[in-house]
Amino acid sequence: MTSFMSNADLLYSLSGFAVGILVGITGVGGGSLMTPLLILLFGVNPATAVGTDLLYAATTKSAGTLIHGFAGSIDWRVVWRLAVGSLPVTAVTLLILSHIDRDGSAASGLITTVLGIALFLTAVVLLFRKRIVALYSERIRELDPRRTSLLTIAMGAAIGFLVSISSVGAGAIGAMGLVLLYPRMPMARIVGSDIAHAVPLTLLAGFGHWIMGSTNWHLLGSLLIGSLPGIVIGSYYCSRVPEGALRTVLAITLTIVACKLLL
């Protein structure tokens, strides 16, 4: 039994290492990769996979926030607007989830459906990001400050709902939304602000899932052992890898996984 558990822990850590490298290179949120991996490959209960991954994301993105904070590449005004929308919606979503049997077929079906939709949206963003930005720029030159603020809050609310149920949405989807709403903002501040907003969001959602008993701390530790060095290595080599080709492969993979979850 001990040998089996050791082998399982090694597989979790290796998976965390592989996901960490991909996150470091592409910047795509770990939830898009880790949650479906836990569900489909390791057979982890969907609710447990989401709850564990949320705290996994909170830990890894806290380190990213510190780095971006020291570099001055976080727009805290944008982070605040996103949080105003996301945190209340997250709290309400968690309250609703607490009244559902998370081990039942209804909860598993809800989680896998929302996860599949979120993965599909992430794949679309990865494949067509430049085209989406170009079409948006042609139709809308620039929003007035008040409308931008309201739309940022609304986007935060949508992300809060997606993340609370699927753990996906605060990465590529969030960054894409900020690019559209703040076209003049440097990409470094877009990424930094998106990561900074993900920390309180995933902490709140992860804490809620922990209270509901949807967190596997042993699994979380095994994933972090592998993912933290993986992210460092991926970040170091990100400029040496053909990111465009990798993003395409990743988007196709996410589309296949989304179809498997939805069908």
Reported as a single tens digit per residue, the pLDDT across 23-81 is: 777 666 677 888 888 998 888 999 999 999 999 888 888 877 887 788 788 999 999 99
Q: Give yes or no for residue 234 having a pLDDT over 60.
A: yes
d(CA 56, CA 163): 13
d(CA 169, CA 158): 9
Angle 105-139/172-181 helices, nearest 10 degrees?
30
Q: Give yes or no for residue 107 having a pLDDT over 50.
A: yes
- pTM for the structure as a whole: 0.85
- pLDDT for res 61: 81
Under 8 Å between Cβ of 13 and 225: yes
Q: Give yes or no for residue 3 having a pLDDT over 50.
A: no
Q: Which of 46, 33, 41 lies closest to 231 in space, CA to CA? A: 33
Most confident of 20-34, 100-114, 125-139, 149-163: 149-163
* Range name among 1-15, 84-98, 101-115, 178-192 with the lowest pLDDT average: 1-15
| Total of domains in the chain | 1
Which residues form the domain of 132?
2-262
- pLDDT for res 174: 87
Q: Which two tokens stand for residue 15?
A: 């998976």
Angle 46-71/145-166 helices, nearest 10 degrees?
140
Task: Provide the 10 A C-beta neighbour count for residue 128.
Answer: 14
Phi, psi of 71 (to 5 degrees): -80, -10
Q: What is the DSSP string of 62-127?
A: HHHHHHHHHHT---HHHHHHHHHHHHHHHHHHHHHHTTS-TTSHHHHHHHHHHHHHHHHHHHHHHH
Q: What percent of the chain has pLDDT over 70?
A: 90
- Hey, what amino acid is at 32? S
DSSP SS3 for 251: helix
- pLDDT for res 221: 92
Residue pLDDT, tens place only, 198-214: 899 999 999 999 999 98
